[in-house]
Amino acid sequence: MHEKALIPNLFRTEYRKIVSVLCSTFGIDHIETAEDIVSDTFLTATESWSLNGIPENPTAWLYTVAKNKTKNHLKRNNLFQQKISSEIKYTSSNTEEFEIDLSLKNIIDSQLAMMFTICNPSISKESQISLALNLLCGFGIQEVSDAFLVNKEVIYKRLKRAKEKLKTEGIKIEQPSVSQIDSNLETVLTTLYLLFSEGYYSTSQNTILRKDLCEEAIRLTLLLLENPITKTPCIYALLSLMYFHSSRFNARINEYGENILYDEQDDTLWDYASIEKGIDFLNQSASGNSLTKFHIEAAIAFWHTRKKDSGEKWENILQLYNQLLQIEYSPIAALNRTFAFAKVRGKSVAITEAEKLQLTDNPFYYSLLGYLYTDMDNLKAKENYENALKLSNSSSVSDTLRKYIETLKEKEKFKL
């Protein structure tokens, strides 16, 4: 691989690993120091490799340079060394004896510790996801800002506030105890779930970025299976949900980055290997006595991978949505239930169900009504799509809504 392509690829895969290890070593107060050391390591790689060529083992080269830069930093900054000496696992005053452990096990352990640190209830969900993307996924500020569809300055400020809050709260980066896992695992899973959703349901037209977000969410969730304490049924349920959804990724986005409705998807584009993984994880999630929202959502996603548009399929989906809303109500789940309700009971009664929700500030509410009224009352369908268009903040969604509106206009002309 050419140096210009290799370094960005290694930055994505190795930056997060070295940062996690250094953060775990130095503590929460020195996240910026860890980031600076690793960034400087990649800058050195860019300069050296352009002059001397790519080394035989680029990853080992990066690890060696990162270790040396860490030692040099400790030499130059005696005060820094004194501050962290009680936290770092060495007692000698001789910096040369200090060693950074970049073994696979310590990298995995450090990333797990960072995950539980970042997913702390003291900071907002948006901040948790932003930190996860930046520190655990190796996303640059521009990529994080693109994921959230905000400018870079917003992300800079969000990350800075989040780091300061974690420092103020005195949160330690350490392997989570059984009690911490019991109390914080749901927060961690919710953050990973939202990270996946940020890619899967994003209104961004950057398809590569959207896929990257989904893949990173899966990678981080798989890390939880590496630790026997976090290897729980709900982890398998969340992974099952992610694999089922990601299996339909290519079919639900067209070449322009626009979303394609489920009824219009080409199922030959589905990834059946991912569906099989989803089924395997769903089966493994069945152990234990607890039924979480992830279990139910995974089961719903499973039925969406079944080709046959049968009454049995939609009846199962409807009953699962009924269960899901009892466990945890959400407006989006209620809207999705209404779509399944229409498949089972028909559009006419589904319209009554949908209008009971009165989610008049939600564009998806009007989009659903537009779908339900289509071919029943096309004037009302057009009116609802127009209301959805007024509320839409996505150019790709707006383009899709305009197409529906134009189609309805053509239908009315044909009637005349």
- What is the pLDDT confidence band of residue 97, given thresholds at 50, 70 and 90? low
- Identify the DSSP state of 375: T
Please say whether the beta carbons of 73 and 37 come within 8 A.
yes
Q: Which residue has the higher pLDDT, 224 or 87?
A: 224
Backbone angles phi, psi at 35, to 5 degrees: -65, -40
**What's the whole-number mean pLDDT along residues 364-389?**
95
> What is the overall mean pLDDT for the chain?
88
Question: Which range has the worst mean pLDDT, 94-103, 228-237, 364-373, 384-393?
Answer: 94-103
Residue 211 has what pLDDT?
Answer: 87
Q: In sequence order, what DSSP letters do the residues of 23-35 get, joined into one string? A: HHHH-GGGHHHHH
Residue closest to 227 by CA, chosen among 50, 81, 358, 109: 109
Provide the 3-class DSSP secondary structure of residue 144.
Answer: helix
Is the per-residue pLDDT at 95 higher than 60? no
DSSP states of 189-214 as a string? HHHHHHHHHHHHS---S-HHHHHHHH
Interval 260-285 mean pLDDT: 93
Distances in Å between the Cα of 246 and the Cα atoms of 234, 274, 368 are 18, 7, 23
Residue 19: count of CB within 10 angstroms of its CB: 24
What is the per-residue pLDDT for 4?
A: 64
Element (H or E) spanning 287, and its range?
A: none
Tokens of 295: 């279990």
SS3 373: helix
DSSP letter assigned to residue 133: I
Q: Is the pLDDT of residue 303 over 60?
A: yes
Do 392 and 401 form a contact (C-beta atoms < 8 A)?
yes
If one compares 292 and 179, the residue with the highest pLDDT of the two is 292
Q: Which residues contact 380 (CB under 8 A, 6 or more apart)?
A: 369, 373
Quick one: average pLDDT of 196-210? 77
- pLDDT tens sequence across 122-145: 999 999 999 999 999 988 888 888
pLDDT higher than threshold 60 for residue 8:
yes
Q: What pTM does this model have?
A: 0.86
Check pLDDT > 70 for residue 37. Answer: yes
Q: Using pLDDT thresholds of 50, 70 and 90, give the confidence band for residue 231.
A: very high
Q: Look at residue 336 and tell me whether its pLDDT is greater than 90.
A: yes
Residue 63, pLDDT > 70, answer yes
Residues above pLDDT 70, as percent of the chain: 92
- Residue 224: pLDDT above 70? yes
Q: Assess whether pLDDT exceeds 50 at residue 91.
A: no
**pLDDT of 164 over the 90 cut:** yes
User: Which has more confidence, 250 or 302?
Assistant: 302
Asked if 132 and 115 touch (Cβ cutoff 8 Å), the reply is: yes
pLDDT, tens digit, 9 for 90 and up, residues 169-195: 998 898 888 888 888 898 899 999 989
**What burial letters (b/e) apply to 171-203, b meaning 16+ CB within 10 Å?**
bebeebeeeebeebbebbbbbbbebbbbbbebb
81: confidence class by pLDDT, cuts 50, 70, 90: low
- pLDDT number for residue 382: 95
What pLDDT is recorded for position 99? 78
> What average pLDDT does range 339-349 have in this prediction?
95
Exposure string (b/e) for 129-153, b if CB count within 10 Å is 16 or more?
A: bbbbbbbbbbbbbebbbbbbeeeee
Residue 71 · residue 63 · CB < 8 Å: no
In 3-state terms, what secondary structure has residue 124? coil
pLDDT at 92: 45
Q: From residue 354, how far is each of 128, 247, 270, 328, 350 by CA, in Å?
A: 33, 28, 29, 18, 6
How many CB atoms are located within 10 Å of the residue 292 CB? 19
Closest CA to 296 of 146, 156, 193, 389: 193
Mean pLDDT of 316-343: 95
Do 298 and 237 touch, CB atoms closer than 8 A? yes
375/51 Cα distance (integer angstroms): 66
Is the pLDDT at 82 greater than 70? The verdict is no
Judged against a pLDDT cut of 50, whether residue 90 lies above it is answered with no
| Partner residues linked to 253 by β-bridges | 259
Question: Which pLDDT does position 87 carry in this prediction?
Answer: 52
